[in-house]
Amino acid sequence: MIEKNSSLKAFNSFSIDAHAHLLFHFQQLSELPQLLALIKKTRAANKPILVLGGGSNTLFCNDFSGLVIKVELMGITQSENNQDYLLEVAAGEDWHELVEDTVAQGIDGLENLALIPGVVGAAPVQNIGAYGVEFKDFCTSVDYIDLEEGTLKTLSNEGCLFAYRDSIFKGELKARALITSVSLKLPKQWQAHCRYGLLQGLDETESSVSAQQIFDSVCRIRSEKLPDPKVLGNAGSFFKNPIVSDNLSEQLLSHHPDMPHYPQHDGSVKLAAGWLIDQCGLKGKKIGGAAVHLQQALVLINEDGKATASDVIQLAWHVREQVLHKFAVLLEHEVRFIDAQGETNLLQVIENV
């Protein structure tokens, strides 16, 4: 249950080799007293604490000097009423397997979120989303352990402060909350969502498209563009799709009329980070063992399995600077950078490379 100087290579989809001073496999809520005692001891030694799910959105920049809590809580409870299917899903469950199982049962709604890597507990942190659908659209509440107080708490959808790839778990509750489960509500009156990206070829009328068709299409599209982490180490989309002012968007469109752009409700415009990177001619760009994926410029890969964190960091910085120079758009990384003392950012780690 507790390991010392344990390798984290198998617990991050980049397959970057790093070690944790202590690794705790959190598999049952009954282990909470033991975990809290370990947390207290770690803090007394002035060491950092990291909650780790599937490691699909994580880059370990160095060995971690403190306690890594690997969340492996499992279990799904399912019920329904006249209007909705209700699911309570433990944080350690695989997200894609949840989507696949629900669609197979005729419980529709999550199909657009197929093949997003990681575990269920990470979904609310990032407010994961794809093809016009986000986690927040179905979440009713999130249960978590307050690591400061040692108590179990629940947040409503509104309390989670969901935004684009953001939530309270990346803000006020960052490093304080360990998510144990999420509650989802999937309406029986299902509505197809096919107006985004490559799904636009599907007809949204309920009579001609099914959730299974959307699921299959999403899986096919993502498989063609996104590398399997088991084959090529990666953390999925490395950068967020930037949101810019309408004025900047119009300026860019005057020079690049084919630029993908998606107007937002507040008047801002979301751009496609992958397209911006591709226009800089960066597909296939390599630094050490890290490379920009040839099929999807938004993905940085551990090409030969021997990339170091330094390789990935330098490549990410190069991509960021090239896009900034060409488009005056500053890309923000979606991937979490974990240094010896905890979460950091690209600006901080590049100084040490």
The number of angstroms, rounded, from the C-alpha of 99 to the middle of its chain's C-alpha atoms is 15
Name the packing angle between helices 211-225 and 95-104 (round to 10°). Answer: 150
Q: What whole-number distance in Å separates Cα of residue 115 and Cα of residue 128?
A: 11
Q: Which whole-number Å values give the CA distances from 280 to 60, 204, 276, 287, in the listed order?
A: 27, 35, 7, 16
Answer whether 14's CB lies under 8 Å from 28's CB. no
- Count of other CB atoms within 10 angstroms of residue 52: 25
Residue 222 falls in which region: left (phi positive, over 0), alpha (psi -120 to 50) or beta? alpha
- Across-strand partners of 19? 7
Q: Which whole-number Å values give the CA distances from 45 to 22, 48, 299, in the listed order?
A: 13, 9, 38
237 is catalytic: yes
| Residue with tokens 């760009």, as numbered in its chain | 285
Answer whether 184's CB lies under 8 Å from 87's CB. yes
320 is catalytic: no
Q: Which of 31, 165, 210, 268 is catalytic?
A: 165
Q: What whole-number distance in Å separates Cα of residue 329 and Cα of residue 244?
A: 8
Q: Which of 3, 321, 332, 334 is catalytic?
A: 334
Q: Which of 237, 249, 303, 320 is catalytic?
A: 237
Q: What whole-number distance in Å separates Cα of residue 345 and Cα of residue 337?
A: 6
- Consecutive H or E run containing 13: none
Q: What whole-number distance in Å separates Cα of residue 49 and Cα of residue 69?
A: 8
Task: Report the candidate in 284, 271, 342, 338 with the shortest Cα–Cα distance to residue 60.
Answer: 338
- Consecutive H or E run containing 5: strand 2-7
Task: Report the candidate in 270, 250, 274 with the shortest Cα–Cα distance to residue 261.
Answer: 270
Which residues touch 82 (CB under 8 Å, ≥6 apart)? 188
Active site members:
165, 237, 334
